[in-house]
Amino acid sequence: MAVIASGAEAVITLKGNIVTKARIRKRYRLLEIDEAIRRERTRTEARLISEARRCGVPTPIIRDVADFEIKMEYIDGTALKKVITPYLCELAGELAGRLHSCGIVHGDLTTSNILLKDGKLFLIDFGLAYLDKTLEARGVDVHVLFQTFESTHENHEELIEAFKKGYARTFGDAGDVLERVKEIESRGRYA
């Protein structure tokens, strides 16, 4: 078993074609509270990954869920940030539109959490995902991705326009969300 990633919340290991995401204990919390938080976050993440998949968003297939860990299919793909094109951004927009149509907000929609494998995009890492159908939540989700485009890619305007096209194709309220994104952007300019 090899550690392939680790962060503040979890350690990701790979064994064969199974990825295990294990939420790590926070020693500053009381043990009972820590276990309750980690158990709930683990179950919520697994449930939202499965729900997103049912909504037509390619995600890893969940193999098993325990108190503090999720075992799932390993997607041996390349992060979108490494292979980004306007066409792939359009496909990413379609994924985000399907996700939002189901009432799921990813919470960390970045080009690192979208993988390309065999010409198909997959959405991973639902650790910050939650259910929310408000314009604000959806707008923040899209805004985070647009900020990623702007901070890491020279042709970010073209990528954003391509994303918008795909997003509008799969999400009926895309226009309202994109208007909210503009409002969210304007709030940050003068802070």
Tell me the CATH number at 59: 3.30.200.20
Active site residues: 108
User: For the segment 119-130, what is each residue's pLDDT rounded down to a tens digit?
Assistant: 999 999 999 999
| Boundary residue ending a domain (13, 38, 73) | 73
Residues 180 and 134 in one domain: yes
107 with 185, same domain: the answer is: yes
CATH of the domain at 112: 1.10.510.10
Residues 101 and 148 placed together within one structural domain of the fold: yes
Let me know whether 59 and 84 are in one domain: no
Residues 106 and 141 in one domain: yes
Q: Which of 98, 19, 122 minimizes the C-alpha distance to 62?
A: 19
User: Averaged in consecutive runs of 10 residues, what is the pLDDT profile of the chain (191 residues)?
Assistant: 86 95 94 96 97 97 96 96 97 98 97 96 96 97 96 94 98 97 83 46
What range defines the domain where residue 153 resides? 78-189
Q: What is the pTM of this model?
A: 0.92
Model pLDDT, residue 54: 97
Are both 125 and 48 inside the same structural domain? no
Considering 47, 73, 99, which residue would you say is the last residue of a domain?
Answer: 73
Statement to judge: residues 91 and 55 lie in one domain: no
pLDDT for the residue numbered 191: 46
The alpha carbon of 48 is separated from its chain's Cα centroid by a whole number of angstroms, namely: 11
Can you give the pLDDT at residue 189?
59
The total domain count for the chain is 2
Residue carrying structure tokens 């194709």: 169
Q: Nearest 5°: phi and psi at 40?
A: -65, -45
The residue out of 73, 88, 117 marking a domain boundary is 73
For tokens 């980690």, what's the residue?
38
Same domain, 92 and 47: no
Strand, coil or helix: 159:
helix
